[in-house]
């Protein structure tokens, strides 16, 4: 029987080496998916009979909005691993998630308001979906501010993890806001898989774009985590050995 040494792969040193091997796959996977999603979304998908061409904003809006929730969940889970089991990589991953999540939330809000102006007649409205998404942005910014304000990394990671975990109450609120309250924001279109209310030539590019955003997140997260590892383990032997044999300069 083969036992997989998970604890080994979770150490910063092993994470560094296996994530580096994955890098080209992630990079070319991203390029491929983004190209396919953009071609599908901008050219192949037919014009919407009600919204005209403006509906094409969903191909950058919906994936960003999904990622804003997904990244938060990853951040809270990674923070919890660091807090409860003292997994060092958990703290590092949580820290690396925050700016990415904040940018996804920013993009979701901005592209949403750019769609709202021609369709609803307003850039912004204080409805439940938009307000809870704005709170999500503030949670990310609060986390980032907290990391900047506390000098001791262990304390900062612990405080950040607690903030992230408490903030997860906002995630179901964002997700179900369109069902719980009578909002201007429309209800879910894609998750009704039994009766999709979207044409497949419109739906497939959206799913491809969502996959592209996910892969992009993993790729950039790994890059950021590697930077953090290099910064904080720079006095370790294995980091110095990285630059020795091949002489990367």
Partner 1 sequence: MELEMSFFSMGGYAYFVWFSYGISAIVLLANALLPVMKEKKLLREIARRAREASKN
- Tell me the C-alpha distance between 57 and 41, whole Å: 9
Instruction: Report in angstroms how near the CB of residue 47 gets to partner 1 at its nearest.
Output: 7
- Which backbone phi and psi does 52 adopt, to 5 degrees? 65, -145
Q: CA 39, 64, 133: angle at the middle one, nearest 5?
A: 150
Instruction: Report in angstroms how near the CB of residue 52 gets to partner 1 at its nearest.
Output: 4
- Which backbone phi and psi does 48 adopt, to 5 degrees? -70, 140
**With CB under 8 A as the contact rule, which of the stretches 85-93, 142-150, 195-203, 239-247 interacts with partner 1?**
239-247
**Window 51-90: residues binding partner 1 (CB under 8 A):** 52-54, 56-57, 60-61, 64
- Residue 115 tokens read as 């769609």
The answer to whether the beta carbons of residues 62 and 147 sit under 8 Å apart is no
Half-sphere exposure for 215 (CA within 13 Å, toward CB): 20
**Could you say whether residue 36 binds partner 1 (CB under 8 A)?**
no
**Window 173-212: residues binding partner 1 (CB under 8 A):** none
Interface ranges with partner 1 (CB under 8 A): 42-43, 47, 52-54, 56-57, 60-61, 64, 99-100, 103, 106-107, 110-111, 114-115, 117-118, 216, 219-220, 223-224, 226-227, 230-231, 234, 239-240, 242-244, 247-249
């Amino acid at each position: 029987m083969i036992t997989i040494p998970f604890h080994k792969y979770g150490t910063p040193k092993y994470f560094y080496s296996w994530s580096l091997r994955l890098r080209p796959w992630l990079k070319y996977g991203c390029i491929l998916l983004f190209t396919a999603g953009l071609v599908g979304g901008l050219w192949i998908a037919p014009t919407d009979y009600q919204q005209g061409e403006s509906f094409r904003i969903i191909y950058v809006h919906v994936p960003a909005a999904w990622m804003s929730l997904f990244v938060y969940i990853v951040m809270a889970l990674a923070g919890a691993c660091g807090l409860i089991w003292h997994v060092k990589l958990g703290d590092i991953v949580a820290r690396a998630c925050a700016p990415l999540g904040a940018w996804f939330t920013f993009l979701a809000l901005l592209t949403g308001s750019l769609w709202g102006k021609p369709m609803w007649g307003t850039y912004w409205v204080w409805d439940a979906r938009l307000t809870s998404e704005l709170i999500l942005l503030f949670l990310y910014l609060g986390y980032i501010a907290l990391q900047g304000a506390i000098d001791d990394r262990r304390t900062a990671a612990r405080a950040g993890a607690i903030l992230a975990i408490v903030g997860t109450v906002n995630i179901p609120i964002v997700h179900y806001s369109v069902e719980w309250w009578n909002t201007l924001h429309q209800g879910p279109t894609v998750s009704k898989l039994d009766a999709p209310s979207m044409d497949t030539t419109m739906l497939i590019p959206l799913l491809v774009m969502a996959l592209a955003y996910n892969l992009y997140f993993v790729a950039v997260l790994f890059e950021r985590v590697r930077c953090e590892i290099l910064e904080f383990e720079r006095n370790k032997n294995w980091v110095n050995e990285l630059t020795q044999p091949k002489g990367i300069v």
